[in-house]
Structure 1
C-alpha cells in the first residue's frame, strides 16, 4: 500500500499541530455560542473543526500518512466537509423552514455516507467499492462548500468574507483530488501531495474559521475578534 512508507516530516508535524490548535479553539467557541444561541450550524461546524483537530493530531503523533487510509480516519474525514456543508444548508440562502429541512437531510446523508465508507473499508469483499463510496460522499459536500457561500455573497450581503469559505471549500476539494490520484496509483505525485497537504489543511482551517467568524449571519463570539 502506497502510504505505508510515507513518514510525516517535522515541518508537517508543526503545521498539523498549529492547524489542530486553531481548529479546537474555534470548535470550543462555536459550541459555547451554540449553547447560548442554539444555532444548529454552529454545532455542526464545531463538530467539523473538532474532527479536523483529531485528524491533525493523529497524523502529527503517528507521523505516518498511512493513517489516512485507515477506516477510522476515513470515516472521521467525512464529517469535516460534511459538517461544514450541512451547516451551510442550515444557514445560507433559503428560508428558515427550507434551510432546516435541507440541513437535517444533509446530516442524514453524511451519517449514511460514513456508514457506507466504514463498510467498504472493513469488509474485504467490498474493498473495490471504497473509492466510489468516498467520492459519493465527498463530492456533494465539496460542491456545497464552494457554491453556497458564493450565493450568500451574491444574494444576501455586500461582505466579501463568505468567499473565504468558498476558497476553503475549493482548496479542500483540490486536496481530496490529489489524494484520490495518489491512492489510484499515481506514485510520482507522492512527494508533492504530502508536501502540500499540511499547508493546504492549515489554509483551509483558517479560511473556514475566519469566513464564518467575520460574516455577520454566521458569526459567533470569539475573544478579541469581532465581526463588525
Structure 2
C-alpha cells in the first residue's frame, strides 16, 4: 500500500467520522427516524474502522474471512436504513433478509465450500447494492427527495463495482488484475463515501416517505 492510498483512506475515514457525527445529531434531534439514523451510524462506523484497518495492516487484511463479514455490514446496514426511512412497510422483511444474509455469510466464510461462500457474498451484496443504488435515484426522480439525494445512488453504484471486483478476485476469476483493483480501491472508497455524504447532506428532511 502506497502513502497515497493511506492518505486517501485517511480522508475517507475523516469523512465517515463526520457523517457519524451528523447522523448522531439527526438521532438526537429526531430529524430522521431513530432506526434509520442508527443504521447509517453503524454503516459509517464500520467504514471508518475498515479504513483504519487497511491503513494499519494493508490490503492483505481483506483475505481474512472475518473482515469480509464485517465489511458486509456497510452495504447491509446502509440499505436497511434506507428501507426503514423510505419504505417502512417493507422494513421488517428486509431486516430479516439482512440478518439471515449476514449469518449465512459468516457460516459459509468459515465452514462452507468456497463456491457457496462466493455466491452468498454476491447475493447479499447484490441485493443491498441494488437498494442503495436504485431507491435514492427513484425517490429523486419522483421528487420524493431532493435531487441531490441521487448522489447516494451513485455511491451505491461505486460500492457495487468494488464489491463485485473483489468477489470475482476471491473466486479466482478477476474482472481486473489484483494490481489494478488495489490501485483503484482507495480512490473508489473515497469517491463512494463522498457520494454518500453529498447525497445525505443534500437531502435535508425528505418528505413523502411511504
TM-score norm. by structure 2 comes to: 0.89
Q: What is the SS of the residue equivalent to 1:216?
A: coil
Please, which runs of 5 or more residues in structure 1 have no aligned partner? 1-7, 93-98, 220-228
Structure 1 window deviating more from structure 2 (209-218 vs 192-201): it is 209-218
Question: Aligned-pair distance for 1:87?
Answer: 1.4
Which runs of 5 or more residues in structure 2 are unaligned?
A: none
Q: Which residue of 2 aligns with 1:167?
A: 154
How has the CA–CA distance of structure 1 residues 35 and 158 changed in structure 2, closer, same or farther, with 3 Å as cutoff?
A: closer
How many angstroms does 1:67 deviate by?
1.4
Distance 1:218 1:27, change over 3 A: farther
Of the candidates 163, 176, 190, which is equivalent to residue 178 of structure 2? 190
Which residue number in structure 2 is paired with residue 30 of structure 1?
23
Deviation at 1:155, TM superposition (A): 1.2
Q: Hey, which bits of structure 1, 4+ residues long, moved more than 4 A? A: none
Q: C-alpha distance in 2, partners of 1:106/1:9?
A: 39
Q: Is 1:121 equivalent to 2:114 in the alignment?
A: no
| More divergent stretch after superposition (149-158 vs 127-136) | 149-158
* Aligned mates of 2:91, 2:7 — CA distance in 1: 35
Compared with structure 1, are the counterparts of its residues 110 and 72 closer, same or farther at alpha carbon in structure 2 (3 Å cutoff)?
same
Corresponding position of 1:20:
13
Partner Cα distance (2:119, 2:145) in 1: 39
User: Is residue 216 of structure 1 aligned with residue 201 of structure 2?
Assistant: no
Q: Give the SS at the match of 1:215.
A: coil
Match of residue 153 from structure 1: 140
Q: 1:173 to 1:18 in 2, by over 3 A?
A: same
> Take 1:194 and 1:159, find their aligned partners in 2: how far apart are those partners?
34
Matched, 1:85 2:79: yes
Distance in 2, matches of 1:134 and 1:103, equals 21
1:144 equivalent in structure 2: 131
Q: Give the number of equivalent residue pairs.
A: 204
| Partner Cα distance (1:206, 1:62) in 2 | 23
Question: What TM-score do the two structures reach when normalised by structure 1?
Answer: 0.82
Q: CA deviation at 1:158?
A: 7.3
Aligned residues: CA RMSD: 1.9
CA contact (8 A) 1:119 1:126 kept: no
Tell which structure's C-alpha radius of gyration is larger. Answer: 1
1:41 equivalent in structure 2: 36
Deviation of residue 140 (structure 1)? 0.5
Does the aligned pair in 1 maintain the 2:39–2:77 contact within 8 Å?
yes
Does the aligned pair in 1 maintain the 2:139–2:145 contact within 8 Å? no
2:174 matches 1:179: no
Q: Secondary structure at the match of 1:128?
A: helix
